[in-house]
Amino acid sequence: MTIQPLELTRATLNKHHKMLIGKDWRLADSKKTFEVFNPATGDVIATVPQGGPHDIDLAVQAARENFASRDWRGQSSDDRAKVLWRFAELIDNHRDEIAKLDVLDNGMPMALATAMISASSTWLRHFASESGKICGINASGALSSSSVEFHAYTAREPVGVAGLILAWNGPAGAFLAKAAPALAAGCSLVIKPADQTPLSALRLGELALEAGFPPGTLNIVTGLGDAGQALVEHPGVDKISFTGSTAVGKQIVRTAAETLKRVTLELGGKSPCIVFDDADMEIAIPTAAMSIFANTGQICFAGSRLYVQKKSFERVVAGVAQIAESLCVGDGFDSKTQIGPVISDKQRKRVEDYIALGREEGADIVGVGSSLPDKGFFVRPTVFTNAKPSMRIVREEIFGPVLVVTPFDNVEDVVPMANATRYGLGAGIFTTDVNKIHRIAARIEAGNIWANCYGVNHASMPFGGYKESGWGRELGSEGLDGFLETKSVFVQLH
């Protein structure tokens, strides 16, 4: 069955999209626009404003005015929580619509898009409850003595205006993972969606106003790289939260250093999955396979390196290859589709180049997906073996459905192999020995460890990476802390 997006597509094509700055929906100051494509067909589905540095400046001004007026941060935590809950309810009520927008401009299967948005609304509710728990400490007793008495305490305050720069691989989810804790903290926001996937962000902006956020609390500027650069450079922005490539993350650090902005970075990965002989293979094989093939491998923590203990190597390789060959690749609106296209023709060529490079360097392809649709930016799921650690398909993030499988002898061998990367975002462990899980989890250099599962997250648990996979954390109490400053107050009593 195919989910018919026709009415939504027509509405998207015919709509005169505008950016949200303050209380106004407006075109770019330059009047320039850019096109948004459906990666499943290659067709243009929308035209949106091409905001630039001047539009960013206007959005930052609106956010600064909102912050200075205390229209949002000055509300009680209960009142802020009510607005966040209302926003979550509106997202739930429009879940299918928002999901269809993400399918249209990202290409992911409808089921995945729907699941992401359902999870995202729970993040809003979680941080709505956390907004009432933002408090400091009282250290009066530590300072006071019989001769002098102090009232000393800390206050937790919003960092100010936060610039949120979103990735394209989970558009609505990326928006809300950053916005939920930032709003709960009391920040005012300027949000720059990825230029490939701006549509759900604009719809979320409409729902945010309906939910009751004061004008200027959320500002959304659609644009290209110069808009993102202007946001990072702007002296009126106190914090940048970015999800994207490690290369761009490094550039953001260099630029943010000029004004010493606070920075949170959620960057790339080359995550290992480890399957031991004692694993439950009915769980391990399909989970390891989908850790890389889900969302067409366009997940920062995708399990792109699979290490299998030697006795089970052939069985696991055969099982993963069979899954790769059987997956239904197609349009995300088709209910039979299990993985969709990659985001763009440029990304398709990049992934295909890596597959060709793997062959040239001497690795063997043992599994490859079936035929692809005639239109769109599709790539076959591909499984490699006999790859050397020095090969680029082993070392570099491909961001596509390409898996490298390598055998190992024992724990002492596999831990150094798993850690032999400049990244450290995630890792999977498959074994029925709980002691082995904890011992290996303690030695793996990654911010997220999944045992006998993969990719699980929750608003109460922080998400982020070691090494070049990023700085700071999203979600969890650490995610909220990233949008707060701590002030120490000392009062000598007389």
Residue 310 within a domain: yes
Instruction: Count other C-beta atoms under 10 Å from residue 6's C-beta.
Output: 8
Q: Domain of 354: which CATH number?
A: 3.40.309.10
Residues 6+ away with beta carbon under 8 Å from 328: 334, 336, 337, 338, 339
User: Shortest CA distance to 425 belongs to which of 479, 392, 462?
Assistant: 462
Question: Do both 314 and 218 map to the same domain?
Answer: no
Task: Report which secondary-structure segment, H or E, holds 88.
Answer: helix 77-93
Structure token pair of residue 220: 């959304």
- Give the span between the Cα atoms of 230 and 52, in whole angstroms: 8
Question: Do both 421 and 475 map to the same domain?
Answer: no
Structure token pair of residue 24: 């106004």
Its domain, for residue 74, covers: 6-267+469-489
Question: Do both 209 and 347 map to the same domain?
Answer: no
Instruction: Count other C-beta atoms under 10 Å from residue 493's C-beta.
Output: 9
- Give the span between the Cα atoms of 7 and 16, in whole angstroms: 16
Q: Are 174 and 166 in contact (CB under 8 A)?
A: yes
Phi/psi for 454 (5° steps) reads: -160, 140
Question: Do both 178 and 314 map to the same domain?
Answer: no
Question: Do both 206 and 301 map to the same domain?
Answer: no
Question: Which residue in 130, 266, 468, 474 is the catalytic one?
Answer: 266
Question: Do both 196 and 298 map to the same domain?
Answer: no
Strands 24-26 and 19-21: antiparallel
Q: Are 372 and 328 in contact (CB under 8 A)?
A: no
Q: 22 in the Ramachandran plot: left (φ > 0), alpha (ψ -120 to 50) or beta?
A: left
Q: 300 catalytic, yes or no?
A: yes
Residue 399 DSSP code = -
Residue 307 DSSP code = E
**What per-residue confidence (pLDDT) applies to 420?**
98
Q: How big is the chain, counted in residues?
A: 494
Question: Do both 236 and 292 map to the same domain?
Answer: no
- Give the span between the Cα atoms of 358 and 352, in whole angstroms: 10
Q: Domain of 45: which CATH number?
A: 3.40.605.10
Strand partners for 417: none
Q: 453 catalytic, yes or no?
A: no
Which stretches does DSSP call E strand in 222-286? 239-243, 262-266, 272-275
Residue 1 within a domain: no
**What per-residue confidence (pLDDT) applies to 175?**
97
The DSSP line for 441-458 is HHHS--SEEEESS-S---
Question: Do both 261 and 277 map to the same domain?
Answer: no
Question: Do both 179 and 250 map to the same domain?
Answer: yes
Residue 494 within a domain: no
Instruction: State pTM to two decimals.
Output: 0.95
Residue 419 within a domain: yes
b/e sequence 19-58, b meaning 16+ C-beta within 10 Å: bbbbeebebbbeeebbebbbbbbeeebbebbbbbbebbbb
Domain count, the chain: 2
Question: Do both 106 and 241 map to the same domain?
Answer: yes
Q: 210 in the Ramachandran plot: left (φ > 0), alpha (ψ -120 to 50) or beta?
A: alpha
Residue 388 within a domain: yes
Phi/psi for 442 (5° steps) reads: -70, -20
Question: Do both 56 and 127 map to the same domain?
Answer: yes
Question: Do both 131 and 154 map to the same domain?
Answer: yes
Q: Is 98 helix (H, G, I), strand (E, B) or coil?
A: helix
Q: Is 492 helix (H, G, I), strand (E, B) or coil?
A: strand
Measure the CA angle with vertex 275, ends 270 and 281; round to 5°. Answer: 130
Residue 463 within a domain: no
Q: Are 390 and 346 in contact (CB under 8 A)?
A: no
Residue 231 within a domain: yes
Question: Which residue in 130, 187, 273, 300 is the catalytic one?
Answer: 300
The DSSP line for 232-269 is HH-TT--EEEEES-HHHHHHHHHHHTTTT-EEEEE---
Distance of alpha carbon 61 from the chain centroid: 27
- Give the span between the Cα atoms of 478 and 484, in whole angstroms: 10
Measured CA to CA in angstroms, residue 460 lies from 56, 135, 365, 427, 480 at distances of: 32, 18, 40, 19, 10
- Give the span between the Cα atoms of 192 and 312, in whole angstroms: 46
Q: Are 347 and 401 in contact (CB under 8 A)?
A: no
Structure token pair of residue 20: 């949200």
Strand partners for 307: 274, 406
Residue 52 within a domain: yes
**What per-residue confidence (pLDDT) applies to 47?**
96
**What per-residue confidence (pLDDT) applies to 15?**
77
Q: What is the pLDDT along the chain (494 residues), one digit of tens a residue?
A: 555 565 666 677 677 899 999 999 999 999 999 999 999 999 999 999 999 999 999 999 999 999 999 999 999 999 999 999 999 999 999 999 999 999 999 999 999 999 999 999 999 999 999 999 999 999 999 998 888 999 999 999 999 999 999 999 999 999 999 999 999 999 999 999 999 999 999 999 999 999 999 999 999 999 999 999 999 999 999 999 999 999 999 999 999 999 999 999 999 999 999 999 999 999 999 999 999 999 999 999 999 999 999 999 999 999 999 999 999 999 999 999 999 999 999 999 999 999 999 999 999 999 887 779 989 999 999 999 999 999 999 999 999 999 999 999 999 999 999 999 999 999 999 999 999 999 999 999 999 999 999 999 999 999 999 999 999 999 999 999 999 999 999 999 99
What is the rounded end-to-end Cα distance, in angstroms, of the chain?
A: 77
Structure token pair of residue 455: 């990719």
